[in-house]
């Protein structure tokens, strides 16, 4: 994620209220789709996926009065492009429940794009164990998939050109007000 600043005074695609509404709706959908909510673990992909997973878990608690598990699934060491880029991605420790066998693992990320990060996440998850099922939640689905991967829960579908960039900013991870920006190159 490059550190571009928004180009002009243009309004963001989503503001803080819109992001919260989208995450609340995802929480409702997760409750609806998973009869056994106690088996659900929300595993965020660093950095922003972790914060988004935390917020969704909070909404689930508010709505259903059930604590769903949360975790971290880092994908940097499972990527398939190590050695082809001049700079390496920063690796972080993953944190998942010890036994995944009976759990529904929901992978959470900010932007779903090519699907390669999700592929790496699936690979990483398999080294921890074999979850009963794996689902995918993303705040933004911007299209341009390069792999047969789709999201189960989407905050906003955002058709983009490949050259455009989606920039998600969250107060907790970026120290800026919550917003989703569309940056044209």
The residue ranges that bind another protein (CB under 8 A) are 1, 46-47, 74, 76-80, 82-95, 123-124, 126-129
Closer of 10 and 82 to another protein (Cβ): 82
Distance, in Å, from the CA atom of 71 to the CA atom of 54, rounded to the nearest integer, reads 9
Closest CA to 124 of 92, 155, 153, 148: 92
Closer of 91 and 147 to another protein (Cβ): 91
What is the signed CA dihedral for 151, 155, 160, 166, rounded to 10 degrees?
A: -110
Q: What minimum distance in Å lies between the beta carbon of 31 and another protein? A: 30
Closer of 1 and 10 to another protein (Cβ): 1
Closer of 7 and 99 to another protein (Cβ): 99
Q: What minimum distance in Å lies between the beta carbon of 100 and another protein? A: 9
Distance, in Å, from the CA atom of 2 to the CA atom of 51, rounded to the nearest integer, reads 19
CB atoms within 10 A of CB 110: 25
Q: What minimum distance in Å lies between the beta carbon of 131 and another protein? A: 12
Q: What minimum distance in Å lies between the beta carbon of 79 and another protein? A: 8
Token pair, residue 98, equals: 């010890």
Closest CA to 103 of 39, 35, 27: 39
């Amino acid at each position: 994620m490059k550190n571009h600043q928004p180009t002009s005074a243009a309004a963001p695609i989503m503001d803080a209220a819109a992001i919260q509404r989208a995450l609340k709706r995802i929480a409702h959908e997760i409750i609806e789709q998973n009869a056994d909510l106690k088996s659900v673990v929300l595993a965020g992909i660093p950095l922003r996926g972790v914060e988004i997973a935390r917020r969704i878990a909070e909404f689930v608690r508010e709505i259903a009065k059930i604590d769903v598990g949360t975790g971290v699934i880092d994908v940097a060491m499972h990527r398939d492009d190590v050695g082809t880029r001049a700079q390496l991605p920063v690796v972080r420790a993953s944190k998942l429940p010890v036994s995944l066998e009976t759990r529904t693992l929901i992978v959470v990320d900010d932007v779903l794009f090519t699907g390669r990060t999700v592929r790496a996440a699936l690979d990483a998850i398999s080294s921890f164990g074999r979850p009963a099922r794996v689902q995918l939640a993303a705040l933004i689905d911007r299209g341009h998939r390069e792999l047969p991967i789709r999201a189960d829960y989407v905050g906003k579908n955002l058709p983009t050109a490949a050259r455009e960039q989606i920039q998600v900013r969250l107060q907790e991870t970026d120290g800026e007000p919550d917003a989703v920006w569309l940056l044209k190159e």
